[in-house]
A and B are shown apart, each in its own frame.
Chain A
Amino acid sequence: MAIDTSVSEFEYPGEEDVGTPAKPPPVWRRSAWLQPNVLWAIAGGVIGYLIGHWLGNVIASGYQQVQSSGQNNVAIVLGLSLGVAGWLAGIGALTYPLAKILGYEPSPSPPQQSWVRYFRMTEDHKVVGWQYAIGVLTFLFTGGLLAMLIRTELLSPTTHVFGPGTYIFLVSEHGTVMMMMATSAVVGPLGNWLVPLMIGSRRMAYPRVESFSFWIFMAGYLVILSAFFFGGFPTGWTGYAPLQTQANGGMDSYLVGFGVIGLGMILAGFNLAATIINYRAPGMNWGRVPIFVWGILATTALLTLATPTLVVAGLFGILDRTAETAFYVNEHGGSNFLWQNLFWFFGHPEVYIMALPGFGIVMEIMPVFTRKPLFAYKVAAAGMLGVALLSFFVWQHHLFQSGINPDMRPLFMLTTELISIPTGFLFLVTLGTLWKAKIRFDTPMLFCLGMLFNFLIGGVTGVFLSDVPVNVTVHGSFFVMAHFHYTIMGGLIFAMFAGFYFWFPKITGKTLNRKLSKWHFWTFFVFFNCTFFPLFLVGILGMPRRVFEYASNLQTLNDISSISAYFLGASFFFFIINVVWSIYLNPHPAPDNPWNSLGLEWQTPTPVPWYDFEHIPVVLNDPYHYGEADAPPVADLGKVLSAVGAPAGSVSHEDLGTGVEGDGDPRPPIL
């Protein structure tokens, strides 16, 4: 028993500091400017691009197709690829993988606490969550700005602001930026920030992979934006061949960008899955996992399994455009429908990559504001897993109008309709939670209700669209466009804001202004519906997507949509002003648990220390026993972990009865 040298004999400066790291003495460190950071990443990206472009010209400038077209795709692809590599090298993401070749492993070092950490690789999941939040908002505002330009063009059926080529590029860029943003909108900021806290962990399983996933995500953003410099791409966000193969250099940005962001998505899912499976606190068996974490877990299955298909499809596209293969070229033994199949095998699960975390947020928040237990917790978890599983079997409904044997249509119509069953589970769980509840209409709850309203419209129109006759009738029209905006923006973005408003006090330690919050919700909700509902009508009346001229009788509806879109965009200012006001101009410290939530993440001090929990908590129950007079405690934070050798999730309340003595922490168990 060499344990006598107990750490409790060890005196820290100040008794209240037990559990916190001792302050390091001033030692010489490299200046923050000289350490890997975002400036070095930018420099690395530029240098990498220049080297890659030069190399591509050396390799391919003599090729016949380059000389005849004047366009060297090899140079562009190599430039972008080496640019991404340079970006990653500059941020320090390659240091550790290279050191491993020599057998080195990272040595523990205290996390940096200065503001510089937000511009570097970091192992603190909360910092990565912040980085993702800024990244996602950057994507969102870029895509939103492009949407304003699109709606401006559509103000008039005949008077044009842009040419047709520019218009289709704006539509394509908007769609690509938004879809890539949406895949990480919840998983990135909230997933990374909250999952370890919600499962009682002090860290992620692969913190460097987590940080890597963010920085490669941002590299993908820059790559997709680089399409502006190469003339854009005309395919919409779906990148269909044969247009893909024929398009100019902007298409390379699309393909490389999708590949790069796809890698980031895979890695993010990989890390979160490993964390949830292995780092759950003792006592947190699968029946006690917070429902938001279930949503993230189901999403990670899609991220890790569906996204590789997108990356491979992108690789084939790049090979077609550089090595002159013919994957998507019918005339040379390929097939343009192959792209559609591979793309939608990823693309449809992607819809659920967006929806499931959104539902997780809503189901996590609703019990707090209804003060009722989550209705049918197990059904909710099963519903999310069911959606994730079925989402792999529906992709061909996107091909009803192209590239599918007509005899196969009923099968995929059936699988698509089947997926509405587990989705219905999720809806019923939320409605069951609302049933006979005394609802507190705080802003997070309003966003949750808004999400349900919008997703209902998006979901019901989705059921119509899964039917072949309707699908054939409205395919490629604004009806489809309105449908997926209702599910993605009306569902995911509303849920994302519900999450931001709910967890903002914990994340920042500040209280948001209530009036501004509610102004944001109501303007956002009203103008969202005013923007997108008319588009169902113009779709039914026959207006096709991605076309900048339309019948003059549709102008009124389009104008309502466009003008509402401006107000919708303006409603974001309430959010921005609120955040700036509440953090910098008129800060009010937030209490540790302003909503009286039972969630484990709310039991930590605010701001949350870098190590999350002073002691690894022992979970005793699920966190949804709201409104129960004799509700059991949810977790024990004060006691020292007593279950040696027990795997995660295997400790029961009885195991703890005479466990290791507490450390004097006066806090009672959570009630």
Chain B
Amino acid sequence: MNLTLKVWRQSGPTDPGHFETYEATDVKDEMSFLEMLDLVNENLIADGHEPITFDSDCREGICGTCGLMINGQAHGPQKGTTTCQLHMRKFHDGETVTIEPWRAAAFPVLKDLMVDRSAFDAIIQSGGFITADTGGPRDANEILIPKIAVDSAMDAAACIGCGACVAACPNGAAQLFTSAKLAHLNLLPQGQAERWKRTEDMVETMEMFFGSCTNYGECQEACPKEIPIDFIAMMNRDFLKSKLKNRKLQGQR
């Protein structure tokens, strides 16, 4: 398979950047999207050009490091799939594929297709933790948790923090990420102690960096872990409850 790639090249954070066209030849169906880029880069290096910079780590869809805007969709055309798990069989011979970095004020482009996502770290730092007991380990099943709560918490915890929700959102909002990080602690007994403080702090930190939700629903379509916007509804409700009764200061449940 031969493809024409339109790739965003930007030498540094201050460079305005531009699209560069490359021919990707001999692309195999079973290659992942990143392997295809590796192939292009090897040819670029052999020709003495600067390779395309992009983020990647585990390449098995669980780390959240990779993330590209492929043909106007975050992580490309396949639903529930990260860029590294997207295979070239989803594309056809002769196709032109446009590749852009995530674009948001909170995700400045560092180089080519690589962005700085430390705004997500700031949100996590503001409340994405629980108070754990010191001392001996507790029995695994000491705290009883309803299965339905565990399942919901686990679905939220599937978030890998790739930033596709922000990239896909027409508003550049991070509601899906923040709500997933909140829900996976707020739904469990271990997360109750800081529930209200966590909700307010993480939402307010999010608002410092990102846009705001207008319920387009584009994020849940882009999410490689298919996290639903129901968690955003839950976050909104918790935030409202906390603010209305000032539970953060009272430390109430």
Asked whether A and B interact, the reply is no
